[in-house]
């Protein structure tokens, strides 16, 4: 059993980098949707209209309480039986986005709850519409403290993309497994994938910290 084969690593690097683009694409698209959708879920859950808040609460709890793997299986293998045909990539992005939207919704909820009630009284006294109030007054105050938590979910999403190999998405982990089964060498591809996630996660964490600092200075 020899140690790390640098020659082999160099050979498989282009194939892994190619698949890494899929991983990054899924993570960014999934996060972008989750961040926006989660906000609407959070606002809907806080609504005083029960026909709105109850179904949303139910949806959030349901999705948070079942594994992502099962959800993407349903999207890709079960739903086509009922006429909903999604490509593996579409099913993967939707699955991740929906799953994490429910987590980010809870993050937003915490942020929204932390905005003092007196701010709502001020916007009422100024006769502002709820939409304007959220956009200009409440959200800017609610978002700043939850940025670190949102950043964590970006990193979680990135690290959860290998789940999608179960529905035939060829992201970086799936590519590494394929290389392994072709060459019977797993050490190099899996190590490289691990390093890829490590470097990218650290990079993202750094970006999030920079964003936090900028938001802080913007006061």
Partner 1 sequence: MNTPMQSTDTLNPTPQQPEQAQPLVRFAGVTKRYGELTVLDGLDLQIEEGEKVAIIGPSGSGKSTLLRVLMTLEGIDEGVIEVDGEPLTHMPDASGQLVPANARHLRRVRGKVGMVFQSFNLFPHMNALQNVMEAPVQVLGLSKREARERAEELLAMVGLEDKLEHFPAQLSGGQQQRVAIARALAMRPKVMLFDEVTSALDPELCGEVLNVIRRLGEAHNLTMLMVTHQMGFAREFADRVCFFHQGRIHEQGSPDELFNNPREERTREFLSAVNEAH
106 Cβ contact partners less than 8 Å away, ≥ 6 residues apart: 42, 60, 64
Q: Is 219 in the site for partner 1 (CB under 8 A)?
A: yes
According to DSSP, residue 115 is labeled S
Which one of 5, 113, 121, 216 is in contact with partner 1 (CB under 8 A)?
121
d(CA 59, CA 73): 18
Q: Which of 47, 87, 132, 181 binds partner 1 (CB under 8 A)?
A: 132
Q: Is the dihedral of CA 46, 53, 43, 152 positive or negative?
A: positive
The footprint of partner 1 on residues 148-207 (CB under 8 A) is none
For every residue of 58-105, which 3-state class applies, written as one string? HHHHHHHCCCHHHHHHHHHHHHHHHCCCCCHHHHHHHHHHHHHHHHHH
Nearest-angstrom CA–CA distance, 53 and 15 = 46
Q: Count of residues binding partner 1 (CB under 8 A)? A: 17
Residue with token string 């940025």: 147
Find the binding residues for partner 1 in span 50-79 (CB under 8 A): none
Question: Rule CB under 8 A: is residue 126 a binding residue for partner 1?
Answer: yes
Pick the binder of partner 1 from 141, 152, 156, 178 (CB under 8 A).
141
Q: At closest approach, how far in Å is the CB of 135 from partner 1?
A: 9
Among 55, 80, 140, 194, interactor with partner 1 by CB under 8 A? 140
199 contact partners, CB below 8 Å, separation of at least 6: none
Residue 119 touches partner 1, criterion: CB under 8 A: yes
User: What is the sign, positive or negative, of the torsion defined by CA atoms of 167, 173, 175, 180?
Assistant: negative
Lookup: tokens for 82: 């009922």
Point out which span in 7-15, 25-33, 117-125, 158-166 binds partner 1 (CB under 8 A): 117-125
Q: Kindly indicate which of the ranges 20-28, 106-114, 118-126, 180-188 contains the residues binding partner 1, using the contact rule CB under 8 A.
A: 118-126
48 binds partner 1 (CB under 8 A): no
Residues lying near partner 1 in the complex (CB under 8 A) are found at: 118-119, 121-122, 124-129, 132, 136-137, 140-141, 218-219
């Amino acid at each position: 059993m020899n140690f790390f084969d640098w020659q082999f690593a160099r050979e498989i690097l282009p194939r892994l980098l190619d698949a890494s683009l899929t991983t990054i694409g899924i993570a960014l698209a999934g996060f972008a949707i989750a961040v926006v959708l989660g906000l609407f879920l959070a606002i809907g859950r806080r609504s005083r209209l029960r026909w709105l808040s109850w179904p949303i609460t139910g949806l959030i709890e349901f999705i948070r309480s079942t594994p992502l793997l099962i959800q993407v299986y349903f999207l890709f293998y079960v739903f086509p039986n009922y006429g909903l045909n999604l490509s593996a990539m579409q099913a993967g992005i939707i699955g991740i986005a929906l799953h994490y939207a429910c987590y980010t919704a809870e993050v937003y909820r915490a942020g929204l709850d932390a905005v003092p009630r007196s701010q709502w009284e001020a916007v009422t006294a100024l006769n502002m519409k709820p939409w304007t109030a959220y956009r200009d007054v409440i959200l800017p105050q609610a978002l700043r403290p939850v940025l670190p938590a949102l950043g964590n979910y970006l990193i979680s999403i990135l690290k959860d993309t290998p789940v999608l190999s179960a529905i035939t998405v060829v992201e970086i982990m799936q590519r590494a497994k394929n290389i392994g089964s072709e060459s019977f060498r797993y050490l190099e591809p899996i190590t490289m994938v691990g390093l890829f996630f490590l470097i990218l996660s650290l990079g993202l964490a750094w970006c999030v910290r920079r964003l936090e600092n900028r938001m802080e200075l913007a006061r």
